[in-house]
Structure 1
Amino acid sequence: MSLRILLLGGTTEALRLARDLPATAIYSLAGLGRVPDDLPCEVRVGGFGGAEGLAAFIREQGIELLLDLTHPYAAQISANAARAAELSGVACWALRRPGWQAGEGDDWREVDDWNGLVAALQDFRRPLFTLGREPLEHLHDIPPHQHWTVRCLTAQEGVPRATVIGARGPFDLHGERALFALLGIDVLISKNSGSQATEPKLQVARELGVPVLLLRRPELPRVSREFVQLEALWEALQRRLAEP
């Protein structure tokens, strides 16, 4: 494996792939969550300074292939990756994880942004936010009739009408059922990440008849190659590595 690879990660799939990459590869993380210390490849934490900074890093490090396995909602990072690949003349391969699909018994409602979400929440009292850290910026704007539960990677002190839970997936059905029951959740707010690790909350919402508000997915840029399954990307990468 002599191909010089830069993997933009932060997802479960990215970590799985990173465990199979050689020491010459670089696994890049924004640094918001846990940084793995048991990978065979180099781990880099932090930003690059936009597309131009990423392109400069690619040239400086002799990167030959850029892999974008960031979160489906990390639209700015994906845009920077696509542009940096163009500027530096390397291929960019991306994993575009499919979103969840509503099934029988689901009450899913899409919203475009935070303002749309706030408007859609007016009739509820006990929302569970699983959007990451964004709700933490609005804890002092909670309507008097609501108590928010925010689940994100890091716990912090809440406010009188909010509980902030620090937790990292995968989550299981038993734990999600217990959480919904304990808190009396009447609406779930989520990004449509498509991740199996966080999907059980949707099944619990279906079982309880709890509506789900989904933040609409952003448009992501076209790149050299796109994959919907990690296995297909890995097979293509192995073929690339076998080239003389």
Structure 2
Amino acid sequence: MRPRRRDFVRALLRSFSIQGSWNHRTMTGPGMAFALSPLLARIHADDPGALQAALERHAGAFNAHPYLAPVAIGSLARLEYEKEETDTLLRFRAALRAPLGAIGDETMWAGWRPFCASTAAIAFLLGTDPVAAAATFLVVYNLGHMGVRLWGLRCGWRAGRGVGAALGRIPFRRIARSLILTNQVLIGALAALLISRIQGGAPTPPWIGGVAVVAGLSGYVIPRRISAAALASLLAALAAWLL
């Protein structure tokens, strides 16, 4: 039986607790089975034995970035709906783990989260109310991460076995790289603002802009030898000492 919209809504909501039963043996496997259960219950509504078997196999070892887990939830549910053989389904399930983990770590952990944090910190140092700056971070960051979850579930269900090709059409690496480089510029501006705050003066726009630009360019020139935060801090400290 084809899942209904409310089944997908329940699966999406349950994906937020996918790490709630994390353990060293099955990792997020039990959470995956819990999130999949509304979809599996509809698909196997006429066969309780098939439902029990599906829940057991999806409770096995699995791990992926939690924000990209809905991609796996949708695609695995689609394979269950299409009555794929168990061996094929399990191999497909295992193949999803590494790509979803790598994409999520690079795009969300290394890109989106630092970008949102730097933006909120700069807003605070420029005079934004602390509560407003924190609230802005929480709203913007979570809109992005919830959007990824919703997109992932839709993408997984629609693509099914072709989810790898569907993911390949999204330039995740380019998006992550752009976020990381933009964040380096923000870190440069943040370093200049912090040094200025410590000194008790008001930074001039050329100072802030100069440190920000050099920190951003460091991502192209020396990306593996020194972090943007370290370079920006050194430049800001040098500028503060000279000025």
TM-score using structure 1 length: 0.23
Give the number of the structure with larger relative contact order, counting CA–CA contacts within 8 Å between residues 6 or more apart. 1
Which structure has the highest strand share of the two?
1
Computing the radius of gyration from Cα coordinates, the structure with the larger value is 2
